[in-house]
Each structure stands twice: as structure tokens, then as C-alpha cells.
Amino acid sequence: MENVFIMDHPLIQHKISMLRDYQTGTNEFRKLVEEIAVLMGYEAFRDLPMEEVEVTTPIETCKTPMISGKKLAVVPILRAGLGMVNGILTLVPSAKVGHIGLYRDPETHEPREYYCKLPESIGQRLVTVVDPMLATGGSAVAAIDFIKERGGKQIKFLCIIGAPEGIKRLREAHPDVQIYCGHVDRELNANAYICPGLGDAGDRIFGTK
């Protein structure tokens, strides 16, 4: 599927299986989410533009590749997306962090923005939107709509578990966005939970019920 990358690496799959276990406690869950974000980010940033720069080693001066001036932003969808931010910042400490908060309108069931703060010059940045669970796709589509309305152009979306329904909806709404997904699960249930999934990612990261 174009622009959809499934991260079938053994380390990612192993850690996702640990996340799924209902006996995995808050502390371990949070660490695993962060570790998976590092592994997924490593893969998602594979296409960052490089340039040859001159470096002087203790032996001689040489041309050697470095990531070129591309500015990065990581944008978690509140609240579960927060769990992935430090993982991305481990890889790219200079990235700026935006936040998008959405709630579901009780009448229309459409996502509504209640908070959006993005780094400046968003149009010149590679924007990595993170949310561990891509369920219906409604929040992901809305968040990316907001980022594009504010000038965002190059956007990647990282989720740990995706439902087929959410991946389809996001692809249709934003075919230009590259979707990186740790695992595609079977389906959504009637309450829009991913099956088998891992439950409510936000509650499990923050220890709430």
C-alpha cells in the first residue's frame, strides 16, 4: 500500500506484545511506548535529506554525510500521543514540539479542536504526528487537517497499532502523508476500540481509568 509502512521488526513486535498484556503496569507500559517510538522513528527518518560536510578528524579533513538543515517538529495528539514524544526526541533532540488536543463532539461525533499550538514556520518543517492508536482515523485526519491549514506541508504519521478502518480513512483523506504503523490489528469493535488492541492507551500510559 503506497505511503503505508508496517514496522515488522522483531523488537517492535515483541514490545507491542508486551504492551497488549493487561498485566503490564503503567511504568513498564510507558517505557515500552517510548522505546517503540524510538525504533519507529529510526525507521521513519530513514529518508531525511543528507548533505556532505567537511569535517577534520585527528588524521585529515574529509567530506562526510550529515542530516541537512531540515527542521523537525513532533506533534502528539493529546493525550496518548504524549507517550511517544520523548522517544522521538531521543533521536532528534532539537525537534520542536507542538500539541493538538481534540474532543469528540457529542452530537456530531466529529473531532473538534480544543487546543492547538504548533512551532513557528511549520511549513518548512518535517512534521511527525504521533498517536499510539489509529482507530477510526477521525482524530488523525482532523489533526493533519489543522496542521495543513496552518501551513504544514511535509507530514508523517506514526502509530503503534492501527485498525484497517483508520488506515483506510487516513490514506483517503491525506494520501500524501506517510503512515508508519507498528502492527495492523483485526478490526474496531462497536465502541471504536481496536481488537485485540491494548485497551485505552492514554489510560494505560497515565495510570488513569
Residues near ligand URA (CB under 6 A) are 80, 133, 135, 193-194, 197, 200-202
Burial pattern 6-37, b for ≥16 Cβ within 10 A else e, equals ebeeeebeebbebbeeeebeeeebbebbbbbb
Between 98 and 197, whose beta carbon lies closer to ligand URA?
A: 197
Q: Within 10 A of 89 (CB to CB), how many other CB atoms are there? A: 18
Q: Would the annotation count 190 as a binding residue?
A: no
User: How many whole angstroms separate alpha carbon 150 and alpha carbon 160?
Assistant: 26
Between 91 and 173, whose beta carbon lies closer to ligand URA?
A: 173
Closest separation between CB of residue 205 and ligand URA, Å? 9
Show the cell assigned to 182.
507498528
Could you say which of 20, 24, 104, 145 is catalytic? Answer: 104
Mark whether 125 is an active-site residue.
no
Could you say which of 20, 90, 145, 203 is catalytic? Answer: 203
Closest separation between CB of residue 131 and ligand URA, Å? 8
Strands 187-188 and 194-195, bridge-based pairing: antiparallel
Show the cell assigned to 13.
513486535
Q: Would the annotation count 150 as a binding residue?
A: no
Best CA proximity match to 95, nearest among 29, 8, 37 = 37
Closest separation between CB of residue 194 and ligand URA, Å? 4
Closest separation between CB of residue 193 and ligand URA, Å? 4
Task: Report the greatest alpha carbon distance in the chain.
Answer: 68
Q: Would the annotation count 135 as a binding residue?
A: yes
Mark whether 21 is an active-site residue.
no
Between 147 and 159, whose beta carbon lies closer to ligand URA?
A: 159
Mark whether 104 is an active-site residue.
yes
Element (H, E) at 17: helix 10-20
Q: Would the annotation count 84 as a binding residue?
A: no
Q: Would the annotation count 137 as a binding residue?
A: yes
User: How many whole angstroms separate alpha carbon 65 and alpha carbon 51?
Assistant: 5
Q: Which residues are known to be catalytic?
A: 104, 108, 200, 203
Which segments are annotated as binding site for 5-phospho-alpha-D-ribose 1-diphosphate?
79, 104, 131-139, 200
